[in-house]
Amino acid sequence: MSVAVSLRHRQGAFVLDIAFESRDLGVTALFGPSGAGKTSVVHAIAGLLRPTEGRIAIDGRVLLDTRAGIDLPAEERRVGLVFQDARLFPHMSVDDNLRFGWRRAQNRMDEPSIARIVEMLGLGPLLARRPAKLSGGEKSRVALGRALIASPQLLLLDEPLSALDAARKAEILPYLERLRDEASVPVFYVSHAVDEVLRLADRVVLLGDGRVTSEGSVFDFAAGEIGEILPASGAVIDTRLESHRDDGLSMLSFGGGVLAVPRLAGLLGARLRVRIRAEDILLAREEPRAISANNVLAARISSLKPFGAEQVDVHLACGEARLVARITRASVARLQLRAGEAVFAVVKSVILDPRALRGTNTLG
């Protein structure tokens, strides 16, 4: 699956001039500050904005080509769009809201597939309710379900969490993770929230002043290796739940070794994304043994980059994974750290959300 986007559009003094291509399934985050052009991009893809010039194609099916005179209407594009606010029909039940686009779809999804989406998003107990009886998080889940049941080739999420408070965001994020892992449709996710991007995205396209400033994997983004919008925030690692130990720890395997975390309530083999902040990694020349930290990883220094006046980001290769340790310049000098040298990364803390695991069908 590939989505190719090339757009040029002027709106007053603002000029949108972007081109990028996303391949395979998964979540592509369109990330950047307010006014960068993110919403204009998704509106153009959905058919709500006709750019001055442009071409948009999904797996070779052309939605827009201004030079060729092609401009499919929104209802024929097979693109699902979820706005910041859910925009549910207040006089309809949840079930009727879910099936609104389905009734108009050219290729109607079958009932077993609808049932799987209802189950995936936890909507079964809500089907008879009307929107006024739903929480903000529940409304967002219904909007997601409505878009998916319309059988889109591409799903666009335009800052779907921005109108929610912290509790409602925590409620819906596991469902978005499940959507990423289980739905067979690519997702473009618009956001200016770093934590959301690190948790959900597979690929990141950075936008600034109407242009693509950089793009790459979410692992590059976390390590600060693409763009100049943000410094390194640490590491994002996709892991597999390998085992449960009798001492209260669960073991997560990844391309660079194994991480020990407090015991999780999942079945073996479950996928879990974890994050490690740059400030939560210490470096040692020799493998430390008599310490309380559960995780010590063998790594090799790939580069050192100054961070502010007193600190340095030490970029590390740990097998297939990339880590970043933020330490003082004094520590770099004392340990005589150089690119290419072997070190041990002592991980003080691993950020994970057990609710993300409980939100999947791998419950134990």
pLDDT along the chain (364 residues), means of 10: 94 94 90 92 96 95 97 93 90 94 81 91 94 92 92 92 85 86 89 90 94 93 74 84 94 95 87 92 94 95 94 94 95 97 96 56 29
Q: Which residue is it, tokens 């052309």? A: 62
Residue 206, domain member (yes or no): yes
Q: Is there a single domain that holds both residue 189 and residue 249?
A: no
Spatial neighbors of 139 by CB under 8 A, at least 6 apart, are 86, 88, 131
CA-nearest of 319, 337, 339 to 327 is 337
Cα–Cα distance between 139 and 145 in angstroms, integer? Answer: 10
Q: Is there a single domain that holds both residue 103 and residue 175?
A: yes
CA 21 distance to own-chain centroid? 17
Per-residue model confidence (pLDDT) at position 225: 80
Please say whether the beta carbons of 237 and 311 come within 8 A: no
Compute the residue count for the chain.
364
Q: Which domain holds residue 11?
A: 2-230
Per-residue model confidence (pLDDT) at position 360: 39
Q: Is there a single domain that holds both residue 30 and residue 162?
A: yes
Distances (CA, A) of 23 to 18, 60, 197, 238, 248: 17, 12, 18, 19, 40
Cα–Cα distance between 255 and 302 in angstroms, integer? Answer: 17
Host H or E run for residue 118:
helix 111-120
Distances (CA, A) of 309 to 229, 323, 333: 19, 21, 14
Please say whether the beta carbons of 99 and 109 come within 8 A: no
Q: Is there a single domain that holds both residue 205 and residue 258?
A: no
Angle between helices 166-182 and 111-120 (to 10 degrees): 140
Task: Name the token pair of 227.
Answer: 């763009």
Task: Name the token pair of 360.
Answer: 């999947």
Residue 363, domain member (yes or no): no
Number of domains in the chain: 2
CATH number of the domain where residue 273 is located: 2.40.50.100
Please say whether the beta carbons of 237 and 261 come within 8 A: no
Q: Which residue is it, tokens 């030079």? A: 67
Q: List the Cα angle 247/249/254 in 5-degree steps.
A: 140
One-letter amino acid at 253 equals S
Spatial neighbors of 86 by CB under 8 A, at least 6 apart, are 131, 139, 140, 142, 143
Predicted TM-score (pTM) of the model is 0.85
Residue 94, domain member (yes or no): yes
Strand, helix or coil at 251? strand
Q: Is there a single domain that holds both residue 33 and residue 156?
A: yes
Q: Is there a single domain that holds both residue 210 and residue 334?
A: no
